[in-house]
Structure 1
Amino acid sequence: MTSELTTPQSPPTALFVLGHAGTGKTTLTNSFVQHQRQIGRAWCVLDKDAVSECWSGPLLQALGFDPHDRDSPGFKKHVRDLGYESTLRIARDQLELGMDVVLPGPWNRELASGALFSASALGLPTQTILRHVWLDLPLPVRYERIVQRADPRDQWKLENWNAYSDALRQPEAVLDGRVTTLDASLSLDTLRGTLEELLIPSPA
């Protein structure tokens, strides 16, 4: 007799919800995970800000930087990669257990290098199914959202808005269609439905 525990399972999925600050990555992720749970599929959410929140501030302060900073050159040089590497390490452990994982965040360096399209390059189990979506909104709308959420971690962005926004680019993988782009001004139900469609396996 075959038990449910020995029933073959499909490979786990790592879903990357991408986009610049203020596009609604966390909001969409939460809505998606809640709906998936209602239909019987559980996901582990790994937001790199939450993963690194307890230690990134003290580390920045020890290095002589603003503990709330998440965007300055100092942060990017000394702290940024540690947060992403920590997130991927936890993701690896969950995926090895067969748990699906959703990772909201910019992931700009990994996207630019192409690592985001290779499970092995990310240090994830090689059988992991990778899915990606990019949320897009006009810059003025993103600015208003960032102001309204009043997160101390956005202080550097707002104080240096011109320098910050001038450096933003649409990743090549988004421009060439390797990553599906979603209009983040659409309703949450519409965005979630599109996200769920991306998880449907392609015909063999």
Structure 2
Amino acid sequence: MTSLVFFCGHAGTGKTTLAKKLIGPLMKASGKPFCLLDKDTLFGGYSAAAMAMLTGDPNDRDSPLFLQHLREPEYRGLIDTARDNLELGISTLVVGPLSREVRERRLFDYAWLGIARDVRLRVVWVHVAEETARQRIVERANPNDAYKLAHWDEYRQRRFVPSGAICDDLLMFDNSAPTQADYDALLARIVG
């Protein structure tokens, strides 16, 4: 059985770091190989080139223009690449904000994902307090975050922590200051 594990959450929550930390233990615990698909690694260069042509700013990755025209193709390509790996028998970790898809519960919809029903599906929502996320974004000094920081009041309105029915089957992970016990517990929930 293959597995598809999503690491979702807003910027600065540590999604990629968490996925990279857990991929080795996950392969050991499951006895299966996994590949890691990070949205920024797969599509960052392409989107930067497209935005440079459209707006003159390659780091304009959160503007309304980007969100209206490039977000969906990036996310669809990410999910299609995951599906290709699953069809080859390779379990996959997918890293990306995917906030809209979490809110609309699309990541639990096998038909929308285009994957077989026998794929083990897990969705992790990685979160930290807003100020922690903002501080991490400032410290990492990634040019892709410039729009977020310059328009923080606008950006923060899109931030949310899932609650209610959205949380059904969602693995919530507070990445503020996790301990090894927290990582172990999350790993057990992903594998179990």
Task: Note if contact 2:102-2:166 (Cα within 8 Å) is conserved in structure 1.
Answer: no
Which shows bigger deviation, 163-172 or 50-59? 163-172
Deviation for aligned residue 1:188: 5.3
Query: Which residue number in structure 2 is paired with residue 35 of structure 1?
Result: 25
Query: Which residue number in structure 2 is paired with residue 8 of structure 1?
Result: none
Asked whether 1:179 is paired with 2:170, we answer yes
Query: Which residue number in structure 2 is paired with residue 26 of structure 1?
Result: 16
Pairwise CA RMSD: 2.0
Query: Which residue number in structure 1 is paired with residue 7 of structure 2?
Result: 17
- Equivalenced residues, count: 191
1:1-204 equivalent positions in 2, closer than 5 A: 11-37=1-27, 40-64=31-55, 66-172=57-163, 176-187=167-178, 189-201=180-192
Letter in 2 for 1:17: F
Letter in 2 for 1:30: K
TM-score by length of 1: 0.85
Deviation for aligned residue 1:143: 0.7
Task: Note if contact 2:126-2:173 (Cα within 8 Å) is conserved in structure 1.
Answer: yes
Q: Deviations over 1:37-68 (max 9, x none)?
A: 45653211011111112311111122225211
Task: Note if contact 1:91-1:124 (Cα within 8 Å) is conserved in structure 2.
Answer: no
Aligned partners of 1:173, 1:146: CA distance in 2, in Å? Answer: 28
Task: Note if contact 2:122-2:171 (Cα within 8 Å) is conserved in structure 1.
Answer: no
Residue segments in structure 2 that go unaligned for 5+ positions in a row = none
Task: Note if contact 1:88-1:124 (Cα within 8 Å) is conserved in structure 2.
Answer: no
Which shows bigger deviation, 150-159 or 177-186? 177-186
Cα gap change, 1:188/1:34 in structure 2, threshold over 3 Å: closer, same or farther?
farther
Which shows bigger deviation, 34-43 or 155-164? 34-43
Task: Note if contact 2:33-2:91 (Cα within 8 Å) is conserved in structure 1.
Answer: yes
Aligned partners of 2:139, 2:181: CA distance in 1, in Å? Answer: 23
Which shows bigger deviation, 23-32 or 176-185? 176-185
Cα gap change, 1:152/1:174 in structure 2, threshold over 3 Å: closer, same or farther?
farther
Aligned partners of 1:36, 1:21: CA distance in 2, in Å? Answer: 24
Aligned partners of 1:56, 1:188: CA distance in 2, in Å? Answer: 35
Task: Note if contact 2:127-2:161 (Cα within 8 Å) is conserved in structure 1.
Answer: no
Task: Note if contact 1:19-1:134 (Cα within 8 Å) is conserved in structure 2.
Answer: yes
Deviation for aligned residue 1:177: 4.1
Residue segments in structure 1 that go unaligned for 5+ positions in a row = 1-10
TM-score by length of 2: 0.90
Letter in 2 for 1:31: K
1 or 2 for the larger relative contact order (CA 8 Å, sep ≥6)? 2
Aligned partners of 1:193, 1:65: CA distance in 2, in Å? Answer: 45
Percentage of pairs with the same residue: 34
